[in-house]
């Protein structure tokens, strides 16, 4: 499991890789190339370094892409299997799972400090983006309440 948290130095996102037994290690913030590579991997199946390289507009060097994929693997965002002499990479979590974890961690920290203003700001931001989001939030809240009542 990957749990994101904010870095103390500003807006960078740190990911903490954990398993059921506890903390395994911390992951550094994702750089721009890492973000671009993850977008490519999330849109594909299993990909080699060359597959990823050809999908990046400015086509960085093979070794740059290889190093980036290896870093993402070590951070726990990618899985990989050996296919002959090359590695084939795949996402270790879906884009939705990743975004959920990022938001959960960021909002969780803020909610601990100022619940009312944070919830109000979240609702305002959701409504500004699309008024239909208010209905979506109501449905999510109802589903959560229903599911939590049935699990008791």
Domain containing 74 equals 2-95
What's CA 73's distance to the chain center, in Å? Answer: 14
Only one residue has tokens 């979590």, namely 93
Are 75 and 130 in a shared domain? no
Point out which residues pair with 90 in neighbouring strands: 79
pLDDT at 98 over 70: yes
- The pLDDT of residue 21 is 34
Same domain, 120 and 88: no
| 136-151 per-position pLDDT tens digit | 999 999 999 999 988 7
Asked if 28 contacts 132 with a C-beta cutoff of 8 angstroms, the reply is no
Q: Please tell me the total count of domains within the chain.
A: 2
Residues 80, 114: Cα–Cα separation, whole Å: 41
Same domain, residue pair 132 and 89 = no
Quick one: 125 and 83 in the same domain? no
């Amino acid at each position: 499991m990957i749990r994101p948290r904010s870095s103390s130095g500003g807006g960078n996102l740190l990911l903490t890789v954990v398993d059921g037994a506890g903390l395994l290690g911390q992951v550094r913030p994702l750089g721009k190339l890492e973000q671009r590579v993850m977008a490519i991997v999330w849109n594909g199946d299993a990909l080699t370094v060359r597959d990823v390289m050809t999908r990046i507009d400015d086509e960085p060097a093979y070794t740059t892409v290889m190093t980036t994929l290896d870093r993402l693997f070590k951070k726990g965002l990618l899985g990989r299997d050996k296919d002959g002499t090359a590695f084939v990479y795949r996402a270790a979590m879906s884009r939705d799972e990743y975004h959920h974890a990022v938001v959960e961690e960021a909002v969780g920290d803020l909610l601990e400090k100022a619940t009312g203003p944070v919830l109000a700001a979240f609702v305002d931001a959701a409504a500004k983006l699309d008024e239909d989001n208010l209905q979506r939030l109501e449905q999510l809240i109802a589903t959560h309440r229903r599911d939590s009542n049935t699990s008791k």
